[in-house]
Structure 1
Amino acid sequence: MNRRHLLTITAAALAAPRLCFAQDAWPSRPVTLLVPFAAGGSNDVVARFMAPVLEQKFGQSFIIDNRPGGGGSLGMGMVVRARPDAQTLLVSSASNHVFHPLVSGDVGYDVREVLVGVSMLTDVPTVLAANPGIGVNTVPELIAKIRATRGGFAFGSSGAGTSNHLAGELFRMRMDLDMTHVPYRGGGPALTDLVAGTIPIAFMNLPTVAPAAEDGRLKIIGVCTGERVSVRPNLPTVMEQGVPDFAVRSWTGLFAPRGTPQAIVDRLGTAVREALAAPPLVARLTALAAEPIVMTPAQTDAFVRQEYERWGPVVRSANISANG
């Protein structure tokens, strides 16, 4: 063995323990949970539920950073460009992770290649909600009112190209209605305007609107899933009220930049899965109509790919624009 080979082996042996130590010591400083929508939406709520659990587990602060814009692509892009050290993580949703890239056609990268799954978090039903002032309680009543309104009928969503936007466009198409999309920078701002009556109806995630519906500030007309949801079985679906082939569901998940050490991804994923199985967090999530989803990092990546395969043909056939 010559001197060069000996030095190479020695350097590798010294580097390996340092790498393992860095991974074992993670996190050595506060971690950012980036939410690509405004405060008050379902992503934000889930992130704020998860943060204290992870803080207790890892002994470091987990800070929520809301970065709305571009249907969630602005904040998502920040995580894509972040260092792959698990210090910046994305609390993502079907809207920004799947629907917006499909609708816009090009966000500058392939989400499936530049982000890795840590764990899914929740399954989030989309609902059709209305301001009580418009005087409708069912989907047929709403359809009749839209058709009787001259100049079209506005509907709000958490942003252009989101799952909420897609739900509204499919509703319009299925029933041949004159409707205009009003995009917001997240579910929170859309909820504010819906309650104020600035917009008459909105397609939003159930956890976002549940508190306002329970105290009478708005009315949930129907659930946009194929069948009734277990967390609110009393709510009828839009489809059972006469809108054919209508089912849109959202979700939240935790993701890291591609290149993040697998050991850290696995540790974090295990902690998240343990939290989602713990009764206290389960109770808090289900109270807001968000059902926990337990998946490994590999299962999360596979799930995202399946979502692209499922919704790609739907988005293309619906000809939905990210500008609307």
Structure 2
Amino acid sequence: MNVRSLPHKLLLPWLVAGTAWLCAAHAFAADPFPSKPVKILVGFSPGGSNDVVARLIAPKLAEGLGAQVLVDNRPGAGGNIAVSAMLTAPADGHTLLMCTTGTLSIQPHVLKSMPFDPEKDIVPVTQVTNAPYMLMVNSTLPVTSVKELVAYAKQKPGELNFASSGTATGGHLAGEMLKTRAGIDIVHVAYKGTGQAMTDLLAGQVSMIFDQPVSSMQYARSGKLRALAVASSRRLAAFPDIPTVTEAGIPDFEPVTWAGICAARNTPPAVVERIQREVARVLATPEIAKRLAADGLEPVGSTPEQFRAFLAADKRKWGRVVKDADVKAE
């Protein structure tokens, strides 16, 4: 039958049916996102700052995406175990990574060979938070300021130690910066996450830690830890009584860290943009913004392009820190 020869009244149903079939076929081929629960991989143990932030935004993100959002902790290897888990999953946006300063900005300068290419294998989605580290000490340590800590460490070289969530993480390098710039001999103790490090710090097994306020200030407020200083150019609005390290006489001490959402290579651009929009929306809600600010964190919500540019600059910055501290992979 020649369709062109049909009257317009008979041709119309054919056109409608054909259009509907094409739309249905396109929708089927597009694999709508999300079609199942979305997983955010955190490369450190529960209780750390990145874990706390991920669990804070997950419920609101789930509301916007219309799908369950799960937080899955994969600690170890400075976050690289979580990276590997994301890269072996389908690149469809359902498996995301809570990417961090240590994993993407520091480790490329420390490891002889990376198990992945940070620039080719990782897709920046959005920077979630920006935050300076806080210098915390066990409350039994007889110091109440950075100056007193430095003096105490010089009296007892090699006896004090500091914890971090892993080798070549931002907290580790912050401690190395203090060590070299203050001229003190303190020993680094690496853990598989901030939660484990905090447990030993509270028990007095380690002396101090550079950590984000979100995972440690509760202990300072309860008196179990003592906050000596914030590693920033200015005091935090949420903690105005805590001085900066610079105020203690160590200039330009600003090892600011960050957390973001990343996806695997080949993730569809439309999916990346959708996730970025939803995360930015969550960060802009008064409830979340207020909670982050109270914990000393700055919400960001940048675009993928902005985040990529930020990563390039941040990688250069930490490269200089690694060189100055002469940090080597263990």
TM-score (norm 1): 0.91
Unaligned runs of 5+ in 1: 1-12
- Residue 33 (structure 2) aligns with: 26
Read off the aligned partner of 1:96 and give its amino acid letter. Answer: T
Q: Is 1:52 the equivalent of 2:59?
A: yes
Q: Secondary structure at the match of 1:54?
A: helix
Q: Is the 8 A contact 2:78 2:166 kept in 1?
A: yes
Structure 2 CA distance for partners of 1:271 and 1:195, relative to 1, 3 Å: same
Residue 20 (structure 1) shift? 6.1
Work out whether 1:307 is the aligned partner of 2:314: yes
Q: Distance in 2 between matches of 1:265 and 1:150?
A: 50
Note the alpha carbon deviations across 1:124-152, whole angstroms, 9 max, x for none.
22111001101211001111111111543
Distance 1:49 1:18 in 2: 33
Task: State the partner residue of 1:254.
Answer: 261
- Could you list the structure 1 runs, at least 4 aligned residues long, displaced by more than 6 angstroms after superposition: 13-16
Equivalent in 244, 247, 257 of residue 251 of structure 2: 244
Q: How do residues 192-271 of structure 1 correspond to structure 2 at under 5 angstroms?
A: 192-271=199-278
- Aligned mates of 1:28, 1:310 — CA distance in 2: 39
Pick from 283, 288, 291 the counterpart of residue 290 of structure 2: 283
Following superposition, the deviation at residue 15 of structure 1 comes to 10
User: RMSD value over aligned CA atoms?
Assistant: 1.7
Aligned mates of 1:306, 1:64 — CA distance in 2:
28
For the residue of structure 1 that corresponds to 2:71, the secondary structure is strand
| Matched-pair identity in % | 38
- 1:230 CA displacement: 2.9
- The 5 Å alignment of 1:43-192 reads 43-192=50-199
Check conservation: 1:174, 1:244, Cα contact below 8 A: no
* CA–CA separation in structure 1 for the residues paired with 2:313 and 2:207: 34
For residue 189 of structure 1, report the CA deviation from its aligned partner.
Answer: 1.0
CA contact (8 A) 2:104 2:315 kept: no
- State the 1:232 CA deviation: 2.2
Which residue type is aligned with residue 251 of structure 1?
Answer: W
Is the CA contact (8 Å cut-off) linking 2:164 and 2:210 kept in structure 1? yes
For 2:266, what is the secondary structure of its paired residue?
Answer: coil
Cα distance 1:109–1:16, how it changes in 2: closer, same or farther (>3 A)?
farther
Q: Deviations over 1:227-277 (max 9, x none)?
A: 222332321111210123322011110010011000111111111111111
- Distance in 2, Cα, partners of 1:180 & 1:281: 37
CA contact (8 A) 2:128 2:300 kept: yes
- Between the aligned partners of 1:211 and 1:115, the Cα distance in structure 2 is 34
Match of 2:15 in 1: none
Give 1 or 2 for the bigger CA radius of gyration: 2
Q: Structure 2: any 5+ residue segments left out of the alignment?
A: 1-21
Residues 62 and 203 of structure 1: is their aligned pair in 2 closer, same or farther, counting only changes over 3 Å?
same
